[in-house]
């Protein structure tokens, strides 16, 4: 099994109506959803279909969402444990909390 996660180039779109960042791979959608509270983004769910698991898709979605928060001077509340763990592993995002 080759590790294609690092070479997987995701096209992530910001679906503002649905309040989520989403990507479609092999006709399956993964996304990270959020709620807005003033200047704070509450990241509440990271959903990646089981068939797409283990490829780093969830991590790329979280990174994209955190980069978005940084670029727009938003604070982040990682309600989703996946987001929380990602921030723990990537100290460059600690200042978003």
* pTM given for the model: 0.90
Neighbours of 69 (CB within 10 A): 19
Q: Look at residue 72 in the predicted model and tell me its pLDDT.
A: 97
Region 74-90: mean pLDDT is 98
The whole-angstrom separation of Cα 47 and Cα 29 is 8
pLDDT at 67 over 80: yes
7 band by pLDDT with thresholds 50, 70 and 90: low
Q: Look at residue 4 in the predicted model and tell me its pLDDT.
A: 42
CA proximity to 43, closest of 88, 82, 94, 80: 80
Question: Which residues, 6+ apart, have CB-to-CB distance to 25 below 8 Å?
Answer: 8, 10, 52, 55, 57
Place domain 13-96 in its CATH homologous superfamily: Gcn5-related N-acetyltransferase (GNAT) (3.40.630.30)
For the stretch 21-33, pLDDT in tens is 999 999 999 999 9
pLDDT at 6 over 60: no
């Amino acid at each position: 099994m080759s590790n294609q996660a690092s070479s997987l180039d995701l096209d992530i779109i910001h679906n503002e109506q649905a309040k989520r960042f989403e990507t479609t791979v092999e006709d399956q959608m993964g996304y990270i959803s959020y709620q807005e509270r003033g200047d704070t983004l509450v990241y509440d769910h990271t959903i990646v279909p089981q068939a797409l698991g283990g490829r780093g898709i969830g991590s790329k979605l979280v990174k994209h969402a955190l980069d978005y928060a940084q670029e727009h001077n938003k604070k982040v509340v990682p309600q989703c444990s996946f987001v929380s763990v990602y921030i723990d592993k990537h100290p460059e995002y600690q200042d978003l909390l």
